[in-house]
Structure 1
Amino acid sequence: MKKTIVLVTLFIMPIVVYLFFASGITNFGKLAMLTHDVSEIDFADSNVALADKITVLGFLGSDVSNKKGNAFNLNQKIYKRFGQFKDFQFVMVMPKGTEQSVDDLKAQLGQLSDVSKWNFVFGEEDQIKGLFNSLGTNLSLDANLGTPYVFIIDKERILRGRDDDEDEGVKYGFDTSSVADLNNKMEDDIKIILAEYRMALKKNTAQREK
Protein backbone atom coordinates (compact mmCIF):
# COMPACT_ATOMS: atom_id res chain seq x y z
CA MET A 1 0.00 0.00 0.00
CA LYS A 2 2.79 2.40 0.92
CA LYS A 3 4.63 1.60 -2.33
CA THR A 4 1.49 2.38 -4.30
CA ILE A 5 1.10 5.76 -2.61
CA VAL A 6 4.75 6.61 -3.29
CA LEU A 7 4.42 5.62 -6.95
CA VAL A 8 1.28 7.71 -7.37
CA THR A 9 2.96 10.71 -5.76
CA LEU A 10 6.16 10.44 -7.84
CA PHE A 11 4.76 9.54 -11.23
CA ILE A 12 1.02 10.11 -11.52
CA MET A 13 0.66 13.52 -9.84
CA PRO A 14 3.16 15.32 -12.12
CA ILE A 15 1.24 14.00 -15.13
CA VAL A 16 -2.05 15.20 -13.68
CA VAL A 17 -0.60 18.67 -13.02
CA TYR A 18 0.82 18.82 -16.54
CA LEU A 19 -2.51 17.86 -18.10
CA PHE A 20 -4.29 20.38 -15.85
CA PHE A 21 -2.31 23.25 -17.32
CA ALA A 22 -1.84 21.86 -20.81
CA SER A 23 -5.56 21.38 -21.40
CA GLY A 24 -6.21 25.10 -21.15
CA ILE A 25 -3.28 26.03 -23.38
CA THR A 26 -4.33 23.49 -26.01
CA ASN A 27 -7.95 24.64 -26.12
CA PHE A 28 -7.55 28.39 -26.32
CA GLY A 29 -3.90 29.43 -26.59
CA LYS A 30 -2.90 32.62 -24.79
CA LEU A 31 -5.51 34.85 -23.19
CA ALA A 32 -6.06 38.08 -25.08
CA MET A 33 -4.90 41.34 -23.52
CA LEU A 34 -8.03 43.49 -23.69
CA THR A 35 -7.31 46.60 -21.60
CA HIS A 36 -3.93 47.85 -20.39
CA ASP A 37 -3.34 50.03 -17.33
CA VAL A 38 -6.37 49.03 -15.29
CA SER A 39 -6.46 51.44 -12.34
CA GLU A 40 -4.77 50.35 -9.15
CA ILE A 41 -6.86 50.06 -5.99
CA ASP A 42 -5.37 53.04 -4.19
CA PHE A 43 -8.45 54.00 -2.18
CA ALA A 44 -8.73 50.93 0.03
CA ASP A 45 -7.85 51.00 3.72
CA SER A 46 -5.86 47.81 3.30
CA ASN A 47 -2.79 46.37 1.63
CA VAL A 48 -4.80 44.90 -1.24
CA ALA A 49 -3.39 45.73 -4.67
CA LEU A 50 -3.71 44.45 -8.23
CA ALA A 51 -0.03 44.74 -9.16
CA ASP A 52 1.99 41.52 -8.95
CA LYS A 53 -1.11 39.38 -8.39
CA ILE A 54 -3.39 37.38 -10.65
CA THR A 55 -6.75 38.77 -9.61
CA VAL A 56 -10.38 37.85 -10.02
CA LEU A 57 -11.97 41.28 -9.68
CA GLY A 58 -15.64 41.73 -8.85
CA PHE A 59 -18.19 44.36 -7.85
CA LEU A 60 -20.95 42.96 -5.63
CA GLY A 61 -22.70 46.27 -4.99
CA SER A 62 -24.57 47.53 -1.95
CA ASP A 63 -27.26 44.82 -2.04
CA VAL A 64 -24.94 42.07 -0.82
CA SER A 65 -27.74 39.60 -0.06
CA ASN A 66 -28.85 39.79 -3.70
CA LYS A 67 -25.35 38.80 -4.87
CA LYS A 68 -24.85 36.06 -2.29
CA GLY A 69 -25.66 33.34 -4.82
CA ASN A 70 -23.11 34.81 -7.23
CA ALA A 71 -20.44 34.76 -4.54
CA PHE A 72 -21.22 31.14 -3.67
CA ASN A 73 -21.06 30.10 -7.34
CA LEU A 74 -17.69 31.79 -7.69
CA ASN A 75 -16.40 30.26 -4.48
CA GLN A 76 -17.44 26.72 -5.38
CA LYS A 77 -16.53 26.72 -9.06
CA ILE A 78 -13.39 28.89 -9.19
CA TYR A 79 -11.96 29.79 -5.77
CA LYS A 80 -11.96 26.27 -4.31
CA ARG A 81 -10.15 24.97 -7.38
CA PHE A 82 -7.53 27.68 -7.83
CA GLY A 83 -7.28 29.52 -4.53
CA GLN A 84 -4.22 27.59 -3.39
CA PHE A 85 -2.03 28.93 -6.20
CA LYS A 86 0.61 31.47 -5.23
CA ASP A 87 -0.02 35.11 -6.20
CA PHE A 88 -3.70 34.41 -6.91
CA GLN A 89 -6.42 36.44 -5.20
CA PHE A 90 -10.06 37.47 -5.27
CA VAL A 91 -10.86 41.17 -4.84
CA MET A 92 -14.44 42.33 -4.40
CA VAL A 93 -14.90 46.11 -4.52
CA MET A 94 -17.72 47.22 -2.24
CA PRO A 95 -19.52 50.50 -1.48
CA LYS A 96 -18.76 51.91 1.95
CA GLY A 97 -21.49 51.01 4.40
CA THR A 98 -21.62 47.34 3.42
CA GLU A 99 -18.98 46.23 5.94
CA GLN A 100 -21.37 44.29 8.17
CA SER A 101 -23.04 42.55 5.24
CA VAL A 102 -19.61 41.57 3.95
CA ASP A 103 -18.62 40.14 7.34
CA ASP A 104 -21.77 38.02 7.28
CA LEU A 105 -21.02 36.83 3.73
CA LYS A 106 -17.42 35.95 4.59
CA ALA A 107 -18.59 33.96 7.61
CA GLN A 108 -20.92 31.94 5.38
CA LEU A 109 -18.25 31.41 2.72
CA GLY A 110 -15.84 30.38 5.47
CA GLN A 111 -18.05 27.44 6.32
CA LEU A 112 -17.26 26.01 2.88
CA SER A 113 -13.60 26.91 2.36
CA ASP A 114 -10.63 28.90 3.60
CA VAL A 115 -11.47 32.48 2.60
CA SER A 116 -8.02 33.99 3.24
CA LYS A 117 -7.69 35.00 -0.43
CA TRP A 118 -11.13 36.59 -0.60
CA ASN A 119 -10.38 40.30 -0.23
CA PHE A 120 -13.09 42.93 0.18
CA VAL A 121 -12.20 46.59 -0.27
CA PHE A 122 -14.50 49.54 0.34
CA GLY A 123 -14.76 52.77 -1.61
CA GLU A 124 -16.93 55.75 -2.43
CA GLU A 125 -19.20 55.73 -5.48
CA ASP A 126 -16.84 57.76 -7.67
CA GLN A 127 -13.89 55.56 -6.72
CA ILE A 128 -15.75 52.36 -7.57
CA LYS A 129 -17.01 53.76 -10.88
CA GLY A 130 -13.53 55.01 -11.74
CA LEU A 131 -12.00 51.58 -11.22
CA PHE A 132 -14.78 49.85 -13.14
CA ASN A 133 -14.57 52.29 -16.06
CA SER A 134 -10.81 51.74 -16.30
CA LEU A 135 -11.58 48.16 -17.37
CA GLY A 136 -12.89 49.55 -20.66
CA THR A 137 -15.59 46.92 -21.10
CA ASN A 138 -18.98 46.92 -22.82
CA LEU A 139 -20.62 46.21 -19.44
CA SER A 140 -21.98 48.54 -16.79
CA LEU A 141 -22.63 48.72 -13.06
CA ASP A 142 -26.21 48.67 -11.80
CA ALA A 143 -27.79 51.27 -9.52
CA ASN A 144 -26.25 49.49 -6.50
CA LEU A 145 -22.73 49.70 -7.99
CA GLY A 146 -22.77 45.99 -8.65
CA THR A 147 -22.52 43.56 -11.56
CA PRO A 148 -22.77 39.78 -11.81
CA TYR A 149 -19.61 39.80 -13.94
CA VAL A 150 -16.07 39.24 -12.66
CA PHE A 151 -12.84 39.98 -14.48
CA ILE A 152 -9.37 38.44 -14.75
CA ILE A 153 -6.57 40.97 -14.17
CA ASP A 154 -2.97 39.85 -14.62
CA LYS A 155 0.12 40.89 -12.64
CA GLU A 156 0.75 43.86 -14.94
CA ARG A 157 -2.79 45.21 -14.36
CA ILE A 158 -4.00 44.11 -17.79
CA LEU A 159 -7.57 42.89 -18.27
CA ARG A 160 -7.39 39.45 -19.84
CA GLY A 161 -10.17 37.67 -21.69
CA ARG A 162 -11.18 36.50 -25.15
CA ASP A 163 -11.26 38.45 -28.38
CA ASP A 164 -12.78 35.59 -30.39
CA ASP A 165 -15.39 34.11 -28.09
CA GLU A 166 -17.93 32.02 -29.98
CA ASP A 167 -20.87 33.62 -28.16
CA GLU A 168 -19.83 37.19 -27.38
CA GLY A 169 -17.02 38.07 -29.75
CA VAL A 170 -14.98 40.00 -27.22
CA LYS A 171 -15.48 38.48 -23.78
CA TYR A 172 -14.47 40.91 -21.05
CA GLY A 173 -15.90 39.16 -18.00
CA PHE A 174 -17.62 36.07 -16.66
CA ASP A 175 -21.21 35.89 -15.46
CA THR A 176 -21.24 34.52 -11.91
CA SER A 177 -24.96 33.86 -12.14
CA SER A 178 -24.22 31.28 -14.85
CA VAL A 179 -22.62 28.05 -13.65
CA ALA A 180 -22.08 27.15 -17.32
CA ASP A 181 -20.04 30.32 -17.92
CA LEU A 182 -17.89 29.59 -14.88
CA ASN A 183 -17.45 25.89 -15.69
CA ASN A 184 -17.03 26.08 -19.44
CA LYS A 185 -15.13 29.32 -19.91
CA MET A 186 -13.76 30.96 -16.79
CA GLU A 187 -12.23 27.74 -15.48
CA ASP A 188 -10.30 27.25 -18.74
CA ASP A 189 -9.16 30.87 -18.83
CA ILE A 190 -7.86 30.72 -15.25
CA LYS A 191 -5.93 27.58 -16.21
CA ILE A 192 -4.40 29.42 -19.15
CA ILE A 193 -3.20 32.46 -17.24
CA LEU A 194 -1.77 30.34 -14.42
CA ALA A 195 0.02 28.22 -17.01
CA GLU A 196 1.39 31.36 -18.70
CA TYR A 197 3.04 32.54 -15.52
CA ARG A 198 4.19 29.06 -14.60
CA MET A 199 5.89 28.67 -17.99
CA ALA A 200 7.42 32.15 -17.77
CA LEU A 201 8.81 31.35 -14.32
CA LYS A 202 10.37 28.11 -15.58
CA LYS A 203 11.91 29.97 -18.54
CA ASN A 204 13.39 32.69 -16.32
CA THR A 205 14.75 30.11 -13.91
CA ALA A 206 16.38 28.18 -16.76
CA GLN A 207 17.99 31.35 -18.12
CA ARG A 208 19.44 32.26 -14.72
CA GLU A 209 20.93 28.79 -14.37
CA LYS A 210 22.81 29.04 -17.67
Structure 2
Amino acid sequence: MKKNLVLFVLFILPIVAYLFFASGINSFAKLPTITSNIPEINSWKTLDDKPVNLKGKITVLGFIGQDVLQHKGNVFNLYEKIFDRNKNFKDFQMVMIMPDGTQNEVKELQKILVSLGTQAGWNFVFGTPDEILGYYNSLKLVGKLDAKLGTPNVFIIDKNRNLRGRKGQDKKGKVEYKEGYNTKFVSELYNQMIDDVKIILAEYRLALKKNHNATKQLLSNEK
Protein backbone atom coordinates (compact mmCIF):
# COMPACT_ATOMS: atom_id res chain seq x y z
CA MET A 1 0.00 0.00 0.00
CA LYS A 2 2.79 2.37 0.99
CA LYS A 3 4.69 1.48 -2.17
CA ASN A 4 1.65 2.28 -4.32
CA LEU A 5 1.27 5.66 -2.59
CA VAL A 6 4.91 6.51 -3.29
CA LEU A 7 4.50 5.54 -6.94
CA PHE A 8 1.39 7.70 -7.19
CA VAL A 9 3.17 10.74 -5.75
CA LEU A 10 6.25 10.27 -7.93
CA PHE A 11 4.61 9.49 -11.28
CA ILE A 12 0.86 10.06 -11.43
CA LEU A 13 0.54 13.29 -9.45
CA PRO A 14 2.96 15.28 -11.68
CA ILE A 15 1.03 14.21 -14.78
CA VAL A 16 -2.29 15.27 -13.22
CA ALA A 17 -0.78 18.61 -12.21
CA TYR A 18 0.55 19.18 -15.73
CA LEU A 19 -2.83 18.45 -17.32
CA PHE A 20 -4.52 20.79 -14.86
CA PHE A 21 -2.27 23.75 -15.63
CA ALA A 22 -2.14 23.02 -19.35
CA SER A 23 -5.92 23.23 -19.50
CA GLY A 24 -5.63 26.97 -18.87
CA ILE A 25 -4.14 27.48 -22.36
CA ASN A 26 -6.67 27.93 -25.15
CA SER A 27 -7.20 25.09 -27.60
CA PHE A 28 -5.27 26.66 -30.49
CA ALA A 29 -1.96 24.91 -31.12
CA LYS A 30 -0.96 28.05 -32.99
CA LEU A 31 -2.70 31.39 -32.55
CA PRO A 32 -4.46 32.13 -35.85
CA THR A 33 -3.61 35.15 -38.02
CA ILE A 34 -6.34 37.77 -38.23
CA THR A 35 -4.54 40.20 -40.58
CA SER A 36 -1.28 39.44 -42.39
CA ASN A 37 1.64 41.80 -42.97
CA ILE A 38 0.29 44.95 -41.34
CA PRO A 39 2.21 48.19 -42.13
CA GLU A 40 5.28 49.34 -40.23
CA ILE A 41 5.07 52.33 -37.90
CA ASN A 42 8.66 53.58 -38.09
CA SER A 43 7.64 56.82 -39.82
CA TRP A 44 6.20 57.94 -36.47
CA LYS A 45 8.42 59.04 -33.61
CA THR A 46 8.43 58.75 -29.82
CA LEU A 47 8.75 61.66 -27.37
CA ASP A 48 12.51 61.21 -27.76
CA ASP A 49 12.14 61.54 -31.54
CA LYS A 50 13.08 57.90 -32.12
CA PRO A 51 11.42 55.44 -34.51
CA VAL A 52 9.88 52.16 -33.36
CA ASN A 53 9.76 49.01 -35.48
CA LEU A 54 7.27 46.16 -35.36
CA LYS A 55 9.41 43.80 -37.45
CA GLY A 56 11.43 41.46 -35.27
CA LYS A 57 9.42 42.20 -32.13
CA ILE A 58 6.41 40.65 -30.41
CA THR A 59 4.22 43.71 -29.93
CA VAL A 60 1.13 44.61 -27.96
CA LEU A 61 -0.36 47.45 -30.01
CA GLY A 62 -2.84 49.97 -28.60
CA PHE A 63 -4.73 53.15 -29.52
CA ILE A 64 -5.35 55.22 -26.39
CA GLY A 65 -6.80 58.27 -28.18
CA GLN A 66 -7.06 61.89 -27.10
CA ASP A 67 -8.43 61.28 -23.58
CA VAL A 68 -5.08 59.96 -22.36
CA LEU A 69 -5.46 60.23 -18.59
CA GLN A 70 -9.02 58.90 -18.75
CA HIS A 71 -7.47 55.60 -19.85
CA LYS A 72 -4.84 55.36 -17.11
CA GLY A 73 -6.82 52.58 -15.39
CA ASN A 74 -6.69 50.54 -18.61
CA VAL A 75 -2.95 51.19 -18.88
CA PHE A 76 -2.48 50.04 -15.27
CA ASN A 77 -4.37 46.81 -16.02
CA LEU A 78 -2.26 46.20 -19.11
CA TYR A 79 0.99 46.90 -17.27
CA GLU A 80 0.16 44.64 -14.33
CA LYS A 81 -1.34 41.67 -16.19
CA ILE A 82 0.62 41.61 -19.45
CA PHE A 83 3.71 43.82 -19.53
CA ASP A 84 5.02 43.03 -16.06
CA ARG A 85 4.90 39.28 -16.80
CA ASN A 86 6.83 39.56 -20.07
CA LYS A 87 9.10 42.61 -19.68
CA ASN A 88 12.23 40.47 -19.38
CA PHE A 89 11.70 38.92 -22.82
CA LYS A 90 14.01 41.09 -24.92
CA ASP A 91 11.90 40.91 -28.09
CA PHE A 92 8.65 41.92 -26.35
CA GLN A 93 7.36 45.49 -26.52
CA MET A 94 4.29 47.66 -25.98
CA VAL A 95 3.44 50.32 -28.58
CA MET A 96 0.69 52.88 -28.06
CA ILE A 97 -0.26 54.98 -31.09
CA MET A 98 -1.18 58.49 -29.96
CA PRO A 99 -2.68 61.56 -31.68
CA ASP A 100 -0.42 64.60 -32.07
CA GLY A 101 -1.17 67.11 -29.32
CA THR A 102 -1.29 64.51 -26.54
CA GLN A 103 2.46 64.70 -25.79
CA ASN A 104 2.06 66.47 -22.43
CA GLU A 105 -0.60 64.03 -21.25
CA VAL A 106 1.63 61.12 -22.31
CA LYS A 107 4.45 62.57 -20.18
CA GLU A 108 2.10 62.42 -17.17
CA LEU A 109 1.12 58.88 -18.06
CA GLN A 110 4.77 57.90 -18.27
CA LYS A 111 5.25 59.10 -14.70
CA ILE A 112 2.55 56.64 -13.64
CA LEU A 113 4.31 53.84 -15.53
CA VAL A 114 7.62 54.69 -13.87
CA SER A 115 5.93 54.45 -10.47
CA LEU A 116 4.82 50.91 -11.38
CA GLY A 117 8.32 49.76 -12.38
CA THR A 118 10.47 49.70 -15.49
CA GLN A 119 9.22 51.47 -18.57
CA ALA A 120 11.84 50.00 -20.91
CA GLY A 121 10.04 48.36 -23.81
CA TRP A 122 6.95 50.57 -23.50
CA ASN A 123 6.68 53.05 -26.41
CA PHE A 124 4.36 55.88 -27.37
CA VAL A 125 4.43 57.09 -30.99
CA PHE A 126 2.56 60.07 -32.43
CA GLY A 127 0.67 60.62 -35.67
CA THR A 128 -1.98 62.90 -37.14
CA PRO A 129 -5.65 61.89 -36.86
CA ASP A 130 -5.78 61.00 -40.57
CA GLU A 131 -2.62 58.88 -40.28
CA ILE A 132 -3.99 57.02 -37.27
CA LEU A 133 -7.35 56.36 -38.91
CA GLY A 134 -5.65 55.17 -42.08
CA TYR A 135 -3.35 52.88 -40.14
CA TYR A 136 -6.16 51.44 -38.02
CA ASN A 137 -8.23 50.74 -41.13
CA SER A 138 -5.26 48.84 -42.60
CA LEU A 139 -5.58 46.35 -39.75
CA LYS A 140 -8.93 45.24 -41.27
CA LEU A 141 -10.67 44.83 -37.93
CA VAL A 142 -14.34 44.50 -37.07
CA GLY A 143 -14.06 46.94 -34.16
CA LYS A 144 -13.71 50.70 -34.76
CA LEU A 145 -11.94 53.60 -33.09
CA ASP A 146 -14.13 56.03 -31.16
CA ALA A 147 -14.54 59.72 -32.07
CA LYS A 148 -11.35 60.54 -30.14
CA LEU A 149 -9.24 57.94 -31.94
CA GLY A 150 -9.18 55.51 -29.06
CA THR A 151 -10.23 51.97 -28.19
CA PRO A 152 -9.87 49.97 -24.96
CA ASN A 153 -8.76 47.00 -27.09
CA VAL A 154 -5.11 46.08 -27.63
CA PHE A 155 -3.77 43.74 -30.29
CA ILE A 156 -1.04 41.09 -30.48
CA ILE A 157 1.39 41.53 -33.39
CA ASP A 158 3.99 38.84 -34.10
CA LYS A 159 7.58 39.33 -35.32
CA ASN A 160 6.50 39.16 -38.95
CA ARG A 161 3.91 41.93 -38.50
CA ASN A 162 0.90 39.60 -38.47
CA LEU A 163 -2.00 40.47 -36.20
CA ARG A 164 -2.85 37.34 -34.23
CA GLY A 165 -5.97 36.38 -32.31
CA ARG A 166 -8.62 33.68 -31.99
CA LYS A 167 -10.52 32.45 -35.00
CA GLY A 168 -12.27 29.10 -35.29
CA GLN A 169 -13.76 26.98 -32.52
CA ASP A 170 -13.06 27.13 -28.81
CA LYS A 171 -12.56 24.10 -26.52
CA LYS A 172 -16.32 23.63 -26.32
CA GLY A 173 -16.72 23.61 -30.09
CA LYS A 174 -18.31 27.07 -30.24
CA VAL A 175 -17.34 29.53 -32.97
CA GLU A 176 -14.88 32.05 -31.54
CA TYR A 177 -13.42 35.24 -32.99
CA LYS A 178 -11.18 37.60 -31.04
CA GLU A 179 -9.10 40.28 -32.73
CA GLY A 180 -8.29 42.32 -29.61
CA TYR A 181 -8.37 42.24 -25.81
CA ASN A 182 -10.35 44.75 -23.76
CA THR A 183 -8.09 46.42 -21.19
CA LYS A 184 -11.10 47.55 -19.15
CA PHE A 185 -11.66 43.99 -17.99
CA VAL A 186 -8.92 42.38 -15.91
CA SER A 187 -10.69 39.04 -16.32
CA GLU A 188 -10.29 39.18 -20.12
CA LEU A 189 -6.59 39.99 -19.84
CA TYR A 190 -6.09 37.31 -17.22
CA ASN A 191 -8.19 34.53 -18.74
CA GLN A 192 -7.47 35.08 -22.42
CA MET A 193 -4.67 37.48 -23.30
CA ILE A 194 -2.10 36.04 -20.89
CA ASP A 195 -2.58 32.61 -22.51
CA ASP A 196 -2.41 33.98 -26.05
CA VAL A 197 0.80 35.92 -25.38
CA LYS A 198 2.26 32.71 -23.89
CA ILE A 199 1.45 30.88 -27.13
CA ILE A 200 3.25 33.49 -29.24
CA LEU A 201 6.29 33.50 -26.93
CA ALA A 202 6.40 29.69 -26.89
CA GLU A 203 6.15 29.65 -30.69
CA TYR A 204 9.23 31.83 -31.02
CA ARG A 205 11.18 30.03 -28.33
CA LEU A 206 10.56 26.82 -30.28
CA ALA A 207 11.68 28.48 -33.50
CA LEU A 208 14.87 29.72 -31.84
CA LYS A 209 15.56 26.24 -30.48
CA LYS A 210 15.02 24.67 -33.92
CA ASN A 211 17.31 27.24 -35.55
CA HIS A 212 19.95 26.63 -32.89
CA ASN A 213 19.78 22.86 -33.38
CA ALA A 214 19.89 23.27 -37.17
CA THR A 215 23.00 25.44 -36.87
CA LYS A 216 24.68 22.90 -34.60
CA GLN A 217 23.86 20.13 -37.08
CA LEU A 218 25.23 22.19 -39.99
CA LEU A 219 28.47 22.90 -38.15
CA SER A 220 28.75 19.22 -37.23
CA ASN A 221 28.34 18.18 -40.88
CA GLU A 222 31.02 20.63 -41.95
CA LYS A 223 33.64 19.07 -39.70
Report TM bin, short chain: 0.7 to 0.9
> Superposed, which structure 2 residues align to 1:76-155 within 5 Å?
76-155=80-159
- SS of 1:200's equivalent in the other structure is helix
| Deviation by residue 1:25-58 (Cα, 9 ceiling, x = unmatched) | 6743110011112111033122201111100000
Residue 184 of structure 1 corresponds to 191
Give, in whole Å, the separation in 2 of the partners of 1:146 and 1:182.
Answer: 18
- SS of 1:58's equivalent in the other structure is strand
2:43 aligned with 1:43, yes or no?
A: yes
| Deviation by residue 1:153-202 (Cα, 9 ceiling, x = unmatched) | 00110000100365872100000001011000000000000000000000
> 31-40 vs 188-197, which deviates more?
31-40
Amino acid at match of 1:50: L
2:206 aligned with 1:199, yes or no?
A: yes
2:32 aligned with 1:32, yes or no?
A: yes
**2:67 corresponds to which of 60, 63, 68:** 63
Large movers: runs of 4+ above 3 Å: 21-28, 165-168
2:179 aligned with 1:175, yes or no?
A: no
Residue 209 of structure 1 corresponds to 216
Residue 15 of structure 1 corresponds to none
| Deviation by residue 1:116-138 (Cα, 9 ceiling, x = unmatched) | 11100000011111221111110
Give, in whole Å, the separation in 1 of the partners of 2:214 and 2:85.
Answer: 31
Residue 3 of structure 1 corresponds to none
* Contact 2:61 2:155 (8 Å CA) reproduced: yes
Aligned length: 192
Give, in whole Å, the separation in 2 of the partners of 1:134 and 1:74.
Answer: 24
- SS of 2:142's equivalent in the other structure is coil
| Percent of residue pairs identical | 53
Give, in whole Å, the separation in 2 of the partners of 1:83 and 1:165.
Answer: 31
Give, in whole Å, the separation in 2 of the partners of 1:126 and 1:207.
Answer: 46
> 81-90 vs 40-49, which deviates more?
40-49
> 35-44 vs 56-65, which deviates more?
35-44
Give, in whole Å, the separation in 2 of the partners of 1:136 and 1:144.
Answer: 19
- SS of 1:48's equivalent in the other structure is coil
Give, in whole Å, the separation in 1 of the partners of 2:82 and 2:143.
Answer: 21
> 43-52 vs 136-145, which deviates more?
43-52
- SS of 1:150's equivalent in the other structure is strand
| Deviation by residue 1:55-93 (Cα, 9 ceiling, x = unmatched) | 000000010011111100000110100111011000000
Q: RMSD of the alignment, in Å? A: 2.1
Alignment TM-score, normalising by the size of structure 1? 0.86
Residue 8 of structure 1 corresponds to none
Task: In structure 2, list runs of 5 or more residues that go unmatched.
Answer: 1-17, 218-223
Alignment TM-score, normalising by the size of structure 2? 0.81
Larger Rg, first or second structure (1 or 2): 2
- SS of 1:106's equivalent in the other structure is helix
